Chains A and B, each alone.
Chain A
Amino acid sequence: MFDFVISVKDSIFDKAESINDYVGEVVDFTIDEVKDGSAKAWNSVTGKDKFYEAENLRKKITRKYNKTEHSYEQQSKILLDSLEQTINSINNHKQEIYKKHFSQFTLLANRLHNLSIQGESFIEYFDSSIYEMKNLNTVRSKNDLYSIDFNNMKAQEIATGILTLGWSTRSKAVETLRNVQAEEKRVQEEITKMNAHITQLKTVLSALENVEEYFASLTHNYEKLLHRFRYGIASQMQKNILNNIALENGKLDFKMMPIVHIEEFQALFNLSIILKTMATMGYLDEQGNVNEEDQKSIDKIKLLTTQELAVA
């Protein structure tokens, strides 16, 4: 019986306690809510809410800008490196054309006709700084953007805030928010510009890679053709020696040559003009447009051709 009483008593206590806890929770909750609500109201009077909105927005755009800038820098570095490599590879081709291919060709060609290739290859210097983006402006500092900083209020600001019933701080907070909103748009432009710049670098790189391929492919074919021509010249020399025909000025008489070799000579001659044009021009710089010297030598050939045609 006593036990029962005790247990009833305990259970009553328990209940009471739990009720007490519950009420306590409810009261705490309500107080929090009231606190919360009044804080919200207070914040909207002083403009603190606008300020926090501004601060959050600033953080957001700073994060976004930094992220984009970081990836932009990585991408542009890769692209600029690739551009440099491609330019270097093109430079190698240019040098090889003069040093190797042209010297071989002139050597062979001179067995038939006096021929020389003038000029020298144009070695392009790659200055990555020219292709980097200018005028990039990061998110401005709090000093530049904030008309008021609630985390760092001056006594005078608090005083005016109280005197004007929060109007002064509120309007400054709103202004701060607007400044950051304007900054958001400005930063968006910077981001768009970065993306545009990457796109531009990418296309320039692929244009340059095309050129590199032109070089590779044409020099390869030039070499092969040269090989065929060398064989033709050698066989003709052999034929002359066998037939005991003396060479005039040590040169083969093209009139006695099979047309196929003449055609090879013609192809090599024209390809040389093409390769010379390619080797003497720049691909990123203004300096390279089919330059005057090239044009002059082409014009000379043109003059010769017309003269000879007239004679013939």
Chain B
Amino acid sequence: MSNEKYIIKELSFDTMMDELNGTSPLNMSKKLIEYELYDQQDSLDILNQIYKEFDSKDNVIDNLVNPMLLNLADGLVKHPDLNGTFRKTNITPSRLVNEVNAFSYEQHTKKDIDDDVFLTQAEKSHYNNEKLGIDKDGKKYNKNYHRNKIYDIKPRDKTREEKGLSKDEIIGKDMDHVNPINHLREKYKNHPYMYREDIAKIIGMSDNEEYIDPSLNRSKGDKTWDEYISSAPKNEDGDVIDSNGKILLTKEEQEKKLKLQKETTKAQNKEAAKAMATNIGLKGIGDIIILLLKPIWFEIKDMFKNGILHGFETDDKIEAFLLRLKRVGNFINDNVLKTLGDSLKDVFSNFIPMLISSIAGIFTGMFKKIIQIISDGFMAIKEAFKIILKDKDENGNIISPAQKADAITKVIVSAIVPIIIFAFEETILSGLKFLNDTPFAFLKDVAMIILSGLATTLIVWLLDQIDIFSVKSEKRVMRVKEIFELRIETIKKNTDIFEKTSIEVLAKQKLQFKKIASDMHHAIENNLNVNDSVYQVANFMHIDLQAKSTDEFLALLSSKKPLVI
């Protein structure tokens, strides 16, 4: 904080001496009254200004919100799965902070997002509509049209050849997809950057194909082995049977099928990830995350800085908060989701509500894991001890006990909150479970980073607001003391210089004049020439006399012109 506006101009002894010596003794009183020993600022105004300085929300932004954003950015950029992404886009933590900080709704242009990335998406899943057998105009159509025309396109002969079987060997058998086509379509319908061809390829993977008995195939239908086995009728031994009691799948065979399904799924996930990575790389994801962060961050900052109600025509804080969420939602919807298409939309539209609901979860969860806090919080306690042992801060200011206590609390809290959050990772992020086993699993980590940063800041901010140890008023009174002591010292110093200099000059002048006056008096009394004394007086008083000698005066008299003084 700068002291500039509170500083009183200091008088300098030498300057004042020069000034006074250059001043006519006749002008001394006027000159002296003009000196400003103190400024005209009202002391009450100054006090109010200092109080206002402390109420200003800029401190909160500087001290809490920005460091939190930087932490967050650092976490994002250094995330192993995003590392390469950010390197490609030249995004560094500080650049990210600047970009996100500079965001405002008015100034945002759609240029912020790289449209080209999203244009590469070809697949718009028709899965949901197709399931109903109704197209978007409401007309009925063949339910399996897409399934058969787009996805089930691998020739059966090719499958047989891949398996190294002759035509005879497969007589009386059906080719079955381990993970059925519609199952895979549903699974990947929300995944961005997957082309229809990619899904067809995953469906037609050799791992996904096996030959089974036709009756078993009909019985299994569109189910996975897992779904089929758990729902199919069984005899006392646990074997799957048909309506006539004929065994379709023995217990032993069931386990083999489940194992097969697991292995197949694994292979397919790998293939899907590969497909997505080759389609787009991860470039788009970094852009999306930043674009998501922008409005969220704007709201956080605005709430800290201007209060929740700022910019809304309501007195209800909850309503204002909801309106803010809506504003973020609208922005994301308009700028991010629309460009993304249906598949990615679901991923990110789940992401935001999850973030918000998790914040509430943090607070309830906090009371449950006290013991873990104590054990995991050990580092924080060690940090706190360090503060207790410190006498001075980095600037050499003495730390008061209250300030120490305040710092300790904040250290402990900021260390504990992330611990709690990671401890509750499973519950908090249950909303993002659908991301498991996908290339987007890292989004869970991103969410964790955002959440822990946000929660820490919120808690520390709350502590700051509650001000348990009255640190704020203490800091404020210290500032008041600092400023007023500086001002008082300057006034005293100025008064001192003023008094010394003026007394010295006035005394000198008095003495000088006395000498001249007494010389003059002496000359008058003793009939001597007085003119020298008169010229001395004129010099003394800085008055310019034009007739400077008797000759000059005689010349003046020689003229017959009247003299006017």
A interface, CB within 8 angstroms of B: 109, 112-118, 131, 134-135, 137, 140, 167, 171, 174-175, 178-179, 181-183, 185-186, 188-190, 192-193, 195-197, 199-200, 203-204, 206-208, 210-211, 213-214, 217-218, 220-221, 224-225, 228, 254, 259-260, 262-267, 269-274, 276-278, 281-286, 288-290, 297-298, 300-302, 304-305, 307-309, 311-312
Contact = CB atoms under 8 A, between A and B. Distances in A.
B510 A199 contact: no
Nearest to A312: B555
Contacts of B470: 171, 174-175, 178
Contact of B534 (A193, A206, A267, A278): A267
A207 B550 contact: no
B212 interface: no
B565 interface: yes
Contacts of B541: 214, 274, 277-278
Contacts of B559: 304, 307-308, 311
11 contacts: A137-B42, A182-B47, A203-B498, A203-B506, A210-B509, A262-B550, A265-B553, A277-B541, A284-B33, A301-B556, A304-B559
A308 B480 contact: no
A305 B547 contact: yes
Contacts of B498: 196, 199-200, 203
B499 to A, nearest CB: 5
Contacts of A304: 556, 559, 561, 563
A257 to B, nearest CB: 10
Nearest to A214: B513
A259 B525 CA distance: 18
Nearest to B28: A207
Interface in B531-565: 531, 533-535, 537-538, 541, 543-547, 550, 552-559, 561-565
- A-B pairs with the 4 shortest C-beta distances? A114-B562, A185-B484, A302-B546, A308-B555
Given A192-B491, A276-B565, 17 more contacts: A114-B562, A114-B563, A115-B564, A116-B565, A171-B470, A203-B502, A204-B33, A211-B26, A213-B510, A224-B525, A274-B534, A274-B541, A284-B30, A284-B33, A290-B543, A301-B565, A308-B558
A278 B29 CA distance: 13
Given A207-B502, A211-B29, A196 B480 contact: no
Contacts of B473: 174-175, 178-179
Interface stretch (B174-182, B230-238, B339-347, B516-524): B516-524
A276 B545 CA distance: 12
Given A196-B495, A214-B26, A116 B480 contact: no
A281 B543 CA distance: 13
A186 B43 contact: yes
Given A207-B502, A270-B535, A185 B481 contact: yes
A300 B562 CA distance: 11
Given A178-B473, A213-B513, A267-B531, A274 B543 contact: yes
Contacts of B468: 167, 171
A274 B530 contact: no
B477 interface: yes
Contacts of B552: 305, 309
A301 B555 CA distance: 11
B38 interface: yes
Interface of B: 24-30, 32-33, 35, 37-38, 40, 42-44, 46-47, 50, 467-468, 470, 473-474, 476-477, 480-481, 484-485, 487-488, 491-492, 494-495, 498-499, 502-503, 506, 509-510, 513, 517, 520-521, 524-525, 527, 529-531, 533-535, 537-538, 541, 543-547, 550, 552-559, 561-565
Nearest to B402: A174
Given A199-B499, A308-B556, A193 B491 contact: yes
Given A174-B470, A185-B484, A190-B43, A203 B30 contact: no
Contacts of B524: 221, 224-225, 228
Contact of A189 (B25, B491, B521): B491
B361 to A, nearest CB: 27
Q: Is the interface of B mostly helix, strand, loop or mixed?
A: helix
A175 B565 CA distance: 71
B517 to A, nearest CB: 4
* Residue among B28, B43, B467, B562 with max Cβ neighbours from chain A (10 Å): B43
Contact of A196 (B485, B494, B556): B494
A181 B468 CA distance: 20
Contacts of A297: 564-565
Contacts of B47: 182-183, 186
B562 A116 contact: yes
A210 B506 contact: yes
B546 A305 contact: yes
Contact of B32 (A109, A200, A271, A286): A200
A216 B524 CA distance: 16
A178 B477 contact: yes
A40 B554 CA distance: 95
B131 to A, nearest CB: 58
A278 B26 contact: yes
B29 A193 contact: no
Contact of A254 (B32, B474, B535, B557): B557
A223 B33 CA distance: 32
B563 A269 contact: yes
B32 A204 contact: yes
A270 B35 contact: no
A115 B32 CA distance: 37
A304 B468 CA distance: 86
B556 A218 contact: no
B543 A189 contact: no
Nearest to B474: A178
B534 A195 contact: no
Contacts of A116: 562-565
A154 B558 CA distance: 96
A289 B28 CA distance: 11
A308 B538 CA distance: 23
Contact of B44 (A113, A137, A285): A137
A288 B562 CA distance: 27
A199 B474 CA distance: 35
Contacts of B527: 228, 260
Contact of B563 (A115, A196, A228, A267): A115
Contacts of B545: 270, 273-274, 298
Contacts of A117: 564-565
B537 A189 contact: no
A298 B38 contact: no
A98 to B, nearest CB: 11
Contacts of A195: 495
Contacts of B506: 203, 206-207, 210
Contacts of A214: 25-26, 513, 541
A263 B33 contact: no
Nearest to A180: B477
B550 to A, nearest CB: 6
B25 A211 contact: yes
Nearest to B545: A270
Contacts of B555: 305, 308-309, 311-312
Contacts of A188: 484, 488
